[in-house]
Structure 1
Amino acid sequence: MSFVYFPILKSRTSELRAYENLSIQSKQEMLPIIELTKSRISKSNPEGSIEKKIEEIKKILDSNLFILDLTTDETLKNPQIDKMLLNYQDGYKEWVDFVKKIIIDYNLKIIPCIHYNPKRIEDVKLQIKQLKESVKGLNLPLALRLDANNNKNPKYIEAIKEFTKDCILILDGGYIEGEEYLDFNLQSINEYNFKSIIFACSSFPPTLPNNGKEVVEKYLLTEQKNYVSLKERYPHIFYGDYACTHPIRYDTQVRGWIPRIDIPLLKNNQEYIVYYYRCRTSERINIEQAYQNCAKSLFQLDEIKNVMNNSIWGFNVFNDVINGYVAGKSPSFWISVRINIYITATLEKLKRLKWGILKL
């Protein structure tokens, strides 16, 4: 198995839909880091059971390998997730048992993340030993995901250094606005023999700017440019990001939203520009017409016309709207379109530039 791209995706409908509609080849060339979230709450599912979410993941990811982590987002987790995250007793037994269960019962191919508490190192070590045993038959490593901005990372890693050779290290930079000089103590971290190191961050804002006018707007993304400056100093680092989303997502009812379509396009070999258009509904313009206005306004740009590719699901959906058929009328659906286009383009770019291949 060979992978070139490592996006962090929450297991919400928008992200999973975007992944589901990727080509078979794209799915085989990426190793997603899936943050497990609660499932959709309903009368029959008041707690947002994670078993239901695992069933959804199984259906969509099928036999494709992925890294599994738990969300820490307060709005996306439930008591089941909290219990696995916070209960460190007996080597995080709740988490270890859950990993074993989904490998056996759902036949999922996963690389589980290690949960880390610097005050409970012996439980962390016991957890690692038990997780290693759970994936032994799959001949897979484990993953350690750390906040890239924490200057104590070398100290944390030192405490479990006997296990690093069997681990993929994920340095999560979170939200990084604009261009920055990045380092994250990599000089020290490099001394540990990790199987590989992935750096991931996002420059996609919590909300795209709105100038109050119905015109095509654009927003520059810089995570790939920031990665290049890091890779120049540490060439073995692999590329990850949040797939054109903000790291923090809110599981709340969207009220008063304005229909909007976003199309991310590669500006050069380092940056993306997100072109977007909003159209308010009114007595004369319903939601369907608003999305048609968005699509037609964006399609007037030569930058978009020149890259239209209907073999890509996101572009195909966009083209359908131009021709009068609106498949989705919710923000979640159009987030899926944006993510799908971005992932496909990023995969092609990474292969073209040969930024690195991780073989497992």
Structure 2
Amino acid sequence: MIALDRYPYFPMLRTRQAELKGLEHLRPEQKQAMLPMLTLGRWPKATDFSKGAEKAAQVMAGAPYCLDLTQDLTHLPDVQQRLRSPQHGFKAWRDFVKDWPQALPVLQTHPEASLRDWLQQARGLEQQAGQVAFRITDFEHHPPLVIQALSAMDDPARAIVFIDAQFIRAALPTYVQATLLTINHLRSAFPNLLIVVSSTSFPASVLPFADPTQSAGTIDILERELHARIGGHAVVGYGDHGSIHSVVYDESSAMRWAARVDYPGELSWEFARSPKDHSRQGYIIAAQAIAASDPSLGTRGLWGEDMILQAAQGHPHGVAPVSWIAVRVNLHLARQLSLSQRLLQAIDQTDDDE
């Protein structure tokens, strides 16, 4: 059994190449210190979701994680619908996750599922995996279902509940209120329930945050503000989407783009870009701007920082957005893990002093 409450950070990532590469290049102790949720999606040239699940397990290298299935029907729709079928208590999903014993399975939802199938899934996954995860994305309909499933389990302490507010930048106060109501609803039934609040504020485009030259800018990380407004680590665990926007445009290869290097901090993302340039030289110039902005770059033993320095010296590791998304994800995960660890340590010290 995993001590779920020991983790300071619970990022949500998809099994896309860039996101998994950023995760893969964390140090082993960093992977062991967080509990990510990895959502299966389409892998290049894959005809099912097994390759994505295999890559997720490989990247985590024995460390625990939660395993979910995309609800986006653009990803292998026939297979996705079979795995999410509610028949016989979501048996297809329960059978699928048996092959990945280090993963905590996330319960699947379906609009045509009966209450019996939903509860059978919860009990079956608890018996099969020992521990389970829930993901709330619908603040109205999901919480009552989760409470009913927890009531049907042998031990609700074997569950972790993720409240996924998704993209919050458009209406932060509304999401704060909705998240608080959901937390109170769940805790009224299970006061000691382990709850994680996750969200993302990374935009679909960085241009609204760029300076007049469109060559640099700063984006504030609202995930931290949401978490702080609902009480911080003293109330719920912290999660985010790993610096990824909530909607991914996988068919965007023909879209116009400029060379850009992102540099995540604890409370903001910095970026440098070469407007109208997506050449190798454009990435070198962007990386040089980032390197010049932080003399401590490269001192923390982080793969992403090494890649920025390497590019600043004239040798970019990639000349396409996917390579630099991986760098951003890697640095974001490392920075947010470190911040969460310090915030939890401060709470523990305060408790010891009382």
Q: TM-score, normalised by structure 2?
A: 0.86
Q: Residue 190 in 1 paired to residue 190 in 2? A: no
Counterpart of 1:294, as a letter, is: A
Over the aligned positions, Cα root-mean-square deviation in angstroms equals 2.3
Partner of 1:109: 102
> Which structure has the highest helix share of the two?
2
Partner of 2:133: 143
**3-state SS of the aligned residue for 1:159?**
helix
- Which of 330, 342, 346 aligns to 2:320? It is 330
**Distance in 2 separating the partners of 1:92 and 1:278:** 46
Q: CA deviation at 1:159?
A: 2.9
Q: Residue 38 in 1 paired to residue 42 in 2? A: yes
Q: CA deviation at 1:310?
A: 5.3
Matches within 5 A, 1:17-166: 17-41=21-45, 45=46, 47=47, 49-85=48-84, 87-100=85-98, 102-103=99-100, 108-117=101-110, 119-135=113-129, 140-147=130-137, 150-160=139-149, 161-163=151-153, 164-166=156-158
Query: Structure 1: where are the runs of 5+ without partners?
Result: 267-271
Partner of 2:270: 275
Q: Cα distance 1:133–1:154, how it changes in 2: closer, same or farther (>3 A)?
A: closer
- Which of 150, 155, 160 aligns to 1:168? It is 160
Partner of 2:283: 291
Partner of 1:344: 334
**Distance in 2 separating the partners of 1:352 and 1:307:** 20
**3-state SS of the aligned residue for 1:114?**
coil
Counterpart of 2:223, as a letter, is: E
Give the number of equivalent residue pairs: 330
Percent identity for Structure 1 against Structure 2? 22
- Which of 14, 22, 29 aligns to 2:18? It is 14
Q: Cα distance 1:30–1:292, how it changes in 2: closer, same or farther (>3 A)?
A: same
Q: Cα distance 1:95–1:314, how it changes in 2: closer, same or farther (>3 A)?
A: same
Counterpart of 2:109, as a letter, is: Y
Tell me, yes or no, if the aligned pair for 1:265 and 1:273 is still in contact at 8 Å: yes
Q: CA deviation at 1:307?
A: 4.7
Q: CA deviation at 1:117?
A: 4.3
Q: Cα distance 1:310–1:354, how it changes in 2: closer, same or farther (>3 A)?
A: closer
Tell me, yes or no, if the aligned pair for 2:291 and 2:297 is still in contact at 8 Å: no
**Distance in 2 separating the partners of 1:152 and 1:253:** 33
Counterpart of 2:286, as a letter, is: C
Counterpart of 1:238, as a letter, is: G
**Distance in 2 separating the partners of 1:204 and 1:7:** 14
**Distance in 1 separating the partners of 2:81 and 2:93:** 10
**Distance in 1 separating the partners of 2:264 and 2:214:** 18
Tell me, yes or no, if the aligned pair for 2:207 and 2:214 is still in contact at 8 Å: no
Partner of 1:269: none
Q: CA deviation at 1:225?
A: 1.4
Q: Residue 318 in 1 paired to residue 308 in 2? A: yes
**3-state SS of the aligned residue for 2:234?**
coil
**Distance in 2 separating the partners of 1:54 and 1:152:** 28
**Distance in 2 separating the partners of 1:152 and 1:216:** 42
Counterpart of 1:54, as a letter, is: A
Q: TM-score, normalised by structure 1?
A: 0.85
**Distance in 1 separating the partners of 2:77 and 2:259:** 30
**Distance in 1 separating the partners of 2:51 and 2:140:** 37
